[in-house]
């Protein structure tokens, strides 16, 4: 299903600028059918598939501000941009769109995707979007960059309320035992604590985009460089005293992946946000 991603992006225009939970649930009910129909139409005329998808996304009835255009730099695959000068988006609202665009990228949707999987993802859509928008609201409340919070939450959980084997909780995958100030950890909201933790590392590493994300991933052992063995503190060594080199590498990779998604969002909505 090679056209699934552009089809997903184009379907943003079935929503209003700030859809309610009820509207999202209503549209999600037919999303799987719409996606498969779009894919089938594109497959029937591959030479003009992207033109067809672009046209379907920019009809006169479109109530959103996302359009799909052809990019001649990437095999003519459609790209998205936000028109913040459009009559329908004079206040430059992008929160829902940012959540939608993020959900449409891999690994949620890849070419080798079954009909059953598409239906499963479509059914989970209302809850995923609700969680993503909750992350955005909390990021705005704490004056944290909402796009960065979105990127972290997608990378950690794909906008789900999960619990990792290491006990990382919530959509941002925060370790409550380290970052929740309440004696009873159940009294802390994982989204609130997750955003607080992200902002804490940003504040402690001003002017450095990589280190805050690396430390969000691996605590004080998060690194964006390879330290000298003699400079590695005890908590970042294994039981034999050997520095946790793989942990340093993993946290650096994590930072690069999250920041890559963040930059994609900035590029998509570059007229609406300063990243």
The residue assigned the tokens 């930059």 is 263
| pLDDT tens by residue, 141-167 | 999 999 999 999 999 999 999 887 777
Is 263 buried (19+), middle (13-18) or exposed (0-12) by CB count in 10 A? Answer: middle
- pLDDT of amino acid 61: 60
pLDDT digits (tens, 9 = 90+) for 4-56: 888 888 888 888 888 898 999 999 899 999 989 998 998 998 888 887 887 77
Residues 164-218: pLDDT tens digits?
777 788 999 998 888 888 777 778 899 999 999 999 999 999 888 999 999 999 9
CB 15 within 8 A of CB 23: yes
Least confidently predicted of 130-139, 161-170, 204-213, 258-267: 161-170
Name the H helices within the chain: 4-10, 21-28, 31-44, 49-57, 95-103, 115-141, 146-157, 176-179, 190-204, 210-218, 245-268
- Those residues with Cβ within 8 angstroms of residue 233's Cβ, 6 or more apart along the chain or in another chain: 220
**What are the angstrom distances between the C-alpha of 52 and each of 8, 113, 118?**
13, 21, 21
Average model confidence (pLDDT) for the chain? 85
Which carries the bigger pLDDT value, residue 83 or residue 264?
A: 264
Give the pLDDT score at 135. Answer: 96
Residue 230 CB-half CA count within 13 A: 0
Domain ranges of the chain: 4-142, 155-264
The pLDDT of residue 107: 60
In angstroms, what CA-CA distances link 30 with 34, 119, 256, 272?
Answer: 6, 10, 36, 30
- Residues 6 or more apart whose Cβ sits within 8 Å of residue 61: none
């Amino acid at each position: 299903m090679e056209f699934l991603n552009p089809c997903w992006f184009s379907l943003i225009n079935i929503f209003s600028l700030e859809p309610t939970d009820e509207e999202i649930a209503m549209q999600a009910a037919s999303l799987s059918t719409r996606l498969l129909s779009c894919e089938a139409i594109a497959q029937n005329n591959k030479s003009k598939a992207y033109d067809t998808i672009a046209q379907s996304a920019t009809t006169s009835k479109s109530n959103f501000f996302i359009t799909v255009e052809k990019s001649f730099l990437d095999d003519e695959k459609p790209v998205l941009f936000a028109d913040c000068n459009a009559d329908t988006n004079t206040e430059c609202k992008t929160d829902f769109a940012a959540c939608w665009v993020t959900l449409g990228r891999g690994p949620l949707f890849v070419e080798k995707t079954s009909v059953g999987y598409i239906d499963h993802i479509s059914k989970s859509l209302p809850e995923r979007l609700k969680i993503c928008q909750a992350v955005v609201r909390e990021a705005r409340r704490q004056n944290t960059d909402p796009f960065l919070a979105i990127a972290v939450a997608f990378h950690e959980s794909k906008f789900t309320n999960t619990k990792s084997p290491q006990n990382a909780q919530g959509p941002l995958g925060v370790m409550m035992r380290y970052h929740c100030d309440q004696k009873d950890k159940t009294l802390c909201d994982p989204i609130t604590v997750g955003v607080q933790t992200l902002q804490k590392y940003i504040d402690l590493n001003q002017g450095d985009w990589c280190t805050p994300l690396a430390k969000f991933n691996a605590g004080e052992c998060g690194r964006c460089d390879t330290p000298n063995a003699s400079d590695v503190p005890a908590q970042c060594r294994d039981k034999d005293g050997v520095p946790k080199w793989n942990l340093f590498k993993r946290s650096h990779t994590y930072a690069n992946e999250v920041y890559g998604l963040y930059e994609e969002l900035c590029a998509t909505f570059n007229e609406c946000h300063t990243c």
